[in-house]
Amino acid sequence: MPALKRLLRARLARRCSAAFCLFWAACGAAGGVFFFLAHGGVLLSGRCTDEQSHRILARLCLDYRKGALTGDLCEDLCVAQKLIYKRCLYYDRGKKVIQADWRGRPVILKSKNEIFSSYHHLGFLEEMEPQGIPEAELLLMVALEIKNVLGLELPNNTVVPLWTKGRGPHWKAQLASMWSLLQQEEYIYFSVLQDFSKHVLRVIGSCGHFYAVEYLTAGHTWQKTLFSVEDAVGVSFSGIQSKAKAITEIAISFLDMVKHFDNDFSHRLHLCDIKPENFAIRSDLTVVAIDVDMAFFEPKMRDILEQNCTGDEDCNFFDCFSKCDLRSRKCGAERANNNLQVICEKIFRPWFSPNFMGSAVSFPLQLQLQKAVQDCAEASTKDTGHHQSHSSHSLSELYHLLRASQNELQKSGSYPHQIHQ
């Protein structure tokens, strides 16, 4: 039987395969999903302890020294002591999130399961030598898995094979490590998207089944400004007028992200779980999506929405929904709302109330912003064509009003010096 057929038959995990390991290798670096919990806002579970965390990392390093796993951060973690544990942030049913210090910078380590052996083992490849898997079959597997996980096909130049560089004496440990990472779906998403968008996380590296990502300032519903600008930028943004400037910058970045996710990929990217906690800001106030468990490109979004129904409520999928056709008793495949509408509802509404931005922005302009946000959030979804037109109008109007706010802040003298790096 050809190697490809043996590989296909062995694909026990629906969303993971050895082929995507090729994509990971082609990227040249391990990647992952970012899970951030802000200072003082962490609810620790009973097993999220320093003792347990040290035990998990010790076992990881033992497996590394035995040659069972590898990664570009293993040496720093297990030998050179340049990746240093700080505290446990989260633990739930094996899912482990750790704050660490890597060469003087804070990072987040994360794994879906705490133990390497918990991940599905690549037993079907144990008898196959690296040279026994033809490049063409690996490329085909890459294409199949990208389509399976993301619901779309990517150009061939995004998955250039680099297996020849990885087929050395530690090939099996490398493959096993990559396989454990690829059983974590968000890892796959960010590994693909990070090279195409500034609005997704930058990944740092990995050791076995743990991967490290950048440490950013995430949002919090309970915080009035939603994002702690002081943590991201510094105390220079502690005044009310400086906060108004920062909120304007962040809001414009949200609009940039919406426009980018709607237009700059081969298919629209839908965010179905929009809340402050699922976004973070960098020091230049760029908005970053940090949780894509509920993010779907258009083809997969249509598959999710097109279900049987008896009413519109059956067509709701978190923040994404369609309409029920009572004649066919099927939900529409096209999403009836959109990313901008939900962001207006859940992010912008708490910000743009009168006087929230202080006297530096005129009261009439603040009222205009409030009305524009209200109209955006409450856009009718009965007519899909009208809805798309209304959304485009809302996006343009919000851009215009936010830039007008920037101008007023600039004229008032409360606009800090340029912060973009």
Statement: residue 316 has pLDDT above 80: yes
Has residue 1 got a pLDDT over 90?
Answer: no
Q: What's the pLDDT score for residue 39? A: 36
Q: State residue 187's pLDDT score.
A: 83
- Residue 231's pLDDT band, with cuts at 50, 70 and 90, is confident
The continuous run of DSSP H or E covering 110 comes out as strand 105-111
* Four-way CATH pick for 229-410: 3.40.50, 1.10.510, 1.20.120, 1.10.720: 1.10.510
Percentage of the chain with pLDDT > 90?
A: 48
Q: How confident is the model at residue 226 (pLDDT cuts 50, 70, 90)?
A: confident
Q: Classify 171 in phi/psi space as left (phi over 0), alpha (psi -120 to 50) or beta.
A: alpha
Give yes or no for residue 80 having a pLDDT over 50: yes
* Mean pLDDT value of segment 367-381: 88
Closest among 231, 204, 205 to 216, alpha carbons compared: 231
Quick: pLDDT tens for 170-190. Answer: 777 887 888 888 788 888 788
Domain with CATH 1.10.510 in the chain: 229-410
Cα within 13 Å of Cα(116), Cβ side: 29
Average pLDDT on 301-324 reads 96
Least confident of 58-67, 117-126, 205-214, 266-275: 117-126
**Residues 384/334, Cβ–Cβ less than 8 Å:** yes
* Mean pLDDT comparison of 45-54, 64-73, 358-367, highest-scoring range: 64-73
Reply yes or no on whether the pLDDT at 238 is more than 60. no
- The CA-based angle 98-166-120, given to 5 degrees, is 50
pLDDT of 138 reads: 59
pLDDT category at 411 given cuts 50, 70, 90 is confident
Q: What is the DSSP letter of 121?
A: P
The DSSP element (H or E) to which 87 belongs, if any, is strand 83-92
Q: Which phi-psi region, left, alpha or beta, contains residue 87 (left: φ > 0; alpha: ψ -120 to 50)?
A: beta
Split at pLDDT 50, 70, 90, the class of 22 is very low
Arithmetic mean of pLDDT over the chain: 80
Is 148 in contact with 14 (CB distance < 8 Å)? Answer: yes
pLDDT at residue 9 in the model? 37
- Give the C-alpha distances (Å, rounded to integers) separating 331 from 335, 370, 378: 10, 33, 21
Structure tokens belonging to residue 368? 């205009």
User: Which has more pLDDT, 128 or 117?
Assistant: 117
Confidence check: pLDDT of 13 > 50:
no
Task: Find the range with the poorest average confidence among 105-114, 242-251, 268-277, 320-329.
Answer: 242-251
Q: 346: how many CB neighbours lie within 10 A of its CB?
A: 17
Lowest mean pLDDT among 180-184, 375-379, 403-407, 411-415: 411-415
| pLDDT value of position 377 | 94
Residue 110 has pLDDT above 80, yes or no: yes
Checking if the pLDDT of 28 tops 70, the result is: no
| Lowest model confidence (mean pLDDT) among 56-60, 88-92, 169-173, 233-237 | 233-237
Banded model confidence at residue 90, pLDDT cuts 50, 70, 90: confident
In this prediction, residue 160 carries a pLDDT of: 46
> Which element (helix H / strand E) includes 99?
strand 95-102
Predicted local distance difference test score (pLDDT) of residue 154: 63
Of 99-108, 230-239, 253-262, give the lowest mean pLDDT range.
Answer: 230-239
Any idea which of 94-108, 128-142, 243-257 has the lowest mean pLDDT? 128-142
Task: Of 31, 32, 33, give the one whose Cα is nearest residue 291.
Answer: 33
Q: Which residue has the higher pLDDT, 421 or 339?
A: 339
Q: What's the average model confidence in pLDDT over 410-420? A: 59
pLDDT at 383: 54
Higher pLDDT, 169 or 103: 103
* Residue 160 CB contacts under 8 Å (≥ 6 apart), including other chains: 26
User: How far is Cα 100 from Cα 205, in angstroms, rounded to an integer?
Assistant: 13
Q: Is 230 exposed, middle or buried (0-12, 13-18, 19+ CB in 10 A)?
A: middle
